[in-house]
Chain A
Amino acid sequence: MPKDHDGIGASTKRREDVRFLSGAGRYTDDINLRGQAYAYFLRSSVAHGNLTSIDTAEAEAMPGVVRIFTAKDFEGVGGLPCGWQVTDRFGQPMKEPGHPVLATGKVRHVGDPIAVVVAESLAEAKDAAEAIMVDIDELPAVIDMKAAVAGGAPLVHDDVENNLCYDWGFVEENREAVDAAIRGAHHVTTLELVNNRLVANPMEPRVAVGDYDRTTGEHTLYTTSQNPHVIRLLMGAFVLGIPEHKLRVVAPDVGGGFGTKIFHYAEEAFCTFAAKAVNRPVKWTCDRSEAFITDCHGRDHVTKIELALDAEGKFLALRTDTLANMGAYLSTFAPSVPTWLHGTLMAGNYTTPLVYVNVKAVFTNTVPVDAYRGAGRPEATFQLERVIDKAARELGIDPIELRRRNFIKPEQFPYQTPVAVVYDTGNYHATMDKLVEIADVAGFPARRAASEAKGKLRGLGIAHYIEACGIAPSQLVGQLGARAGLYESATVRVNATGSISVYTGSHSHGQGHETTFPQVVAEMLGIDATQVDIVHGDTSKIPMGMGTYGSRSIAVGGTAMVKATEKIIAKAKKIAAHLMEAAETDVELAGGQFSVKGTDKSIAWGDVCLAAYVPHNYPLESIEPGLEETAFYDPSNFTYPSGGYACEVEVDPDTGKVEILAFSAADDFGNVINPMIVSGQVHGGIAQGIGQALLEQAVYDENGQLLTGSYMDYAMPRADDVPMYAVDHSCVTPCTHNPLGVKGCGEAGAIGSPPAVVNAVVDALAARGVTHIDMPLTPARVWAAMNAAG
């Protein structure tokens, strides 16, 4: 039967690949509308200053110029909204300064847009932009977070004292108990560390094309987004005041997102607005250099973490103090990242009874910072897995053993952590055992000796992560400050001949939904997956959608699709029962056939579908014709993937260069729909984690100039920077609260790998007295650390 071949659990080849491999993908920059004009943004070249005048007169007379826009044109237009309000530890709302579409009065980071030229060609728009006269009274910039909150620093927003967005404590009631436990502990391990600022760098730069139909009043925005409905909601309701039925947002093929394409950006609002203003389509295509100073960055935390242990190595309490960079403005989900997506994971896989997390979110004259693959959870895992490794070394306990001693045991699930969340299921001993096996931990001493014999320092690093995925229960996130629901929708439309179109609010930008989602529906119906197609990424086609991020697509979007398919099956059984003159309760569906229990009566899936649309012999008195169902699914909990990661490195003591020799991952993702695709997600996540650990960092100088503004200085992982990866997802504890038992796999690789890499390098250098090196572990830094310690 086909379902054995391409249903749940099959490594079905991706159908979308055919168009991508043929050069027939349809990315936003491939869209060119008749009569379109081109937008070019004139951006601030200074990090901080008062905008004293903008003179566009000369530029307006330049060839090809259609119109030049400045902040004046956006009076009466809303600013870019923030989608999450954090309440500080004193019960006050966070400071939420405005974020205008175009800089108004002040520029606050290099790249802040000042004016936009719309012209017949991009080259003409750029030429004209050079003729715009802008006077900026430059102000001192504030870049360093510690300096920003220390008092007396320049203010990014005049009404935000000490540049402090919020001072958040979690769990505030635990504060004193944690302090006391740390004071009285047998041993306290302390670590100060940096979670380096990253640029997401999906290979497709952002693009927006706005269009306006005067005859219908309908706006259309084509955009490189992970969640077109969210953009429609934010831009329509908060920025431009366009009702949903007059605003269509399309995110066609999108070339990677990694979080940075979740957010609503000024360029989207601009192109939508300008298309009406100039009465023709307006297109903006981002350069990579422009992306570096406009795409939201990720991470950028500075943390002090303290772990208290007893004499046996049991974790007693954990306390962290973090400064989290917000950049110059609050991006869409920025406030949630260092708080609810971070603090709630600080228990890790462990039974630590007392946890207190303090986070101060800070404004600086830098590009806004928001979610990047993992968003908050990599920061939590990194701190935890680094401090545990350091504690193991200080106490002389094997780092794997120390983790095992503190793991939540399989029989303890569901497990209520001291940081609010309840883990439904997991088996951390199993993933650690699997990791020890696939990484051949037992053979490491011999491999280390071989490396030493050729003058290299070898290290093995272990990390074990947990993350909260499947974001998430709307009521819970609402209580935590989210201004959006986090359900997902799906419509399953069965056509008259039995073929199916599934309309999902999830969005695929590399994850392979066009292949995996049909696998699920095909499995449920017992039909061939090729009979099922997925439609996504267009608000005019899909009822509502919250999009793809937080490893939520299969757990939330997939479940919505399952729920809709269950409704289809229920109705189809009614039709089949009527056609076979049997009781509905006796009808079974298997292998694409409806049959009557205990008889040889059966009818094919396609015949039932046809009957629904040609209802000649049909129970019209009890059910309507047609076969189409919609479901909205709002989960009751997050999902909690977990896993063990191992990295083995060699360090060249002469140069400090780190080479990754082996990387292993043993993940528990719950049930897996398409193992090939899941492995691919892990591979990609690991490479990004290795990138963070060894290569990548966005660096500003003290004046707020981005020193790593292109691939000449921002080191992207390349093929020869990474090894083949050994990945395993055979440890399965199915999620208990969704019907597929799935947990999500998109971010795991990026969460588990940075601490594994750093632990490995520190292991290699421990004999030379190195206890910590901040990421990225560039050759220069490793060499400096070796010399400082030695």
Chain B
Amino acid sequence: MTSVTMTVNGKKMSGEVEGRTLLVQFLREAQGLTGTHVGCDTSQCGACVVHVDGVAVKSCTMLAQEAAGAEVTTIEGMANPDGSLGVIQQAFQDHHGLQCGFCTPGMVMSAADLLKTNADPSETEIREYLEGNICRCTGYHNIVKSIQAAAATLRG
């Protein structure tokens, strides 16, 4: 076991991990941040997407020790300081961009990553960007609408 420390949602978090401990296991099991989900084992579904040092990664395909010293943001860190839903989260509620909610944390994290680099994505760009996030409930229609709405709000 090795001790690993990283900053998660602005807080320093440490834990004992094995070499094989995945970042998602560190978050879910060691830190109790169960908002990040595991929906597959081939790095495709995207339920586990978090941000590491400002970019989206699949936390099921990154070792906890690889994130040592990094700044990690999870779905639990996406709300406003007062705990209310952030802009992207709110847009998902407003536009019914989720049903069972299982893929949702990854969707929100991917959407946030997209909107950082593309303030006004087209429908096609959004759909292409979500290639690594699978949703089985919504048929994506309202996810696309949610992200478009969030983009409009963020543009002001």
Contact = CB atoms under 8 A, between A and B. Distances in A.
B99 A719 contact: no
A258 interface: yes
**Residue among B40, B42, B92 with max Cβ neighbours from chain A (10 Å):** B40
B59 interface: no
B151 interface: no
Nearest to B95: A676
Given A201-B136, A288-B45, A17 B101 contact: yes
Interface residues of B, number: 56
A718 B102 contact: no
Interface size range of chain A in the complex: 35 or more
Contacts of A25: 35, 101-102
B102 A203 contact: yes
A204 B34 CA distance: 13
B55 interface: no
B109 to A, nearest CB: 10
A529 to B, nearest CB: 16
Contacts of B108: 21
A718 B134 contact: yes
B1 interface: no
Contacts of B139: 683-688, 717, 722, 725, 749
B140 A687 contact: yes
Contacts, number: 180
Q: Chain B interface secondary structure, helix, strand, loop or mixed?
A: loop
Nearest to A677: B96
Nearest to A24: B35
Nearest to B40: A288
Nearest to A288: B40
Given A683-B142, A718-B130, A719-B144, A711 B42 contact: yes
A677 B20 CA distance: 42
Nearest to A674: B96
Given A202-B136, A684-B138, A685-B139, A255 B41 contact: no
Nearest to A21: B89
Given A288-B41, A509-B100, A725 B141 contact: yes
A207 B124 CA distance: 35
Nearest to A725: B141
Nearest to A289: B41
B108 to A, nearest CB: 7
A23 B105 CA distance: 6
A203 B41 contact: no
A18 interface: yes
Contacts of A16: 101
B131 A255 contact: no
Nearest to B36: A23
A205 B18 CA distance: 25
Which 5 residue pairs of A and B lie closest in terms of their CB atoms, listed nearest first? A23-B35, A20-B101, A255-B102, A687-B139, A510-B100
Interface of A: 13-14, 16-27, 29-30, 32, 123, 201-205, 253-256, 258, 287-289, 509-512, 676-677, 679-680, 683-688, 710-712, 716-720, 722, 724-725, 749
Given A22-B85, A253-B100, A685-B139, 20 more contacts: A20-B104, A21-B93, A21-B101, A21-B104, A27-B37, A27-B102, A202-B102, A205-B39, A256-B100, A256-B136, A288-B39, A684-B136, A684-B138, A718-B127, A719-B127, A719-B128, A719-B140, A719-B143, A722-B141, A725-B139
Interface of B: 18, 20, 28-29, 33-42, 44-45, 47, 74-76, 78-79, 85, 89, 92-94, 96, 98-105, 108, 123-124, 126-128, 130-131, 133-144
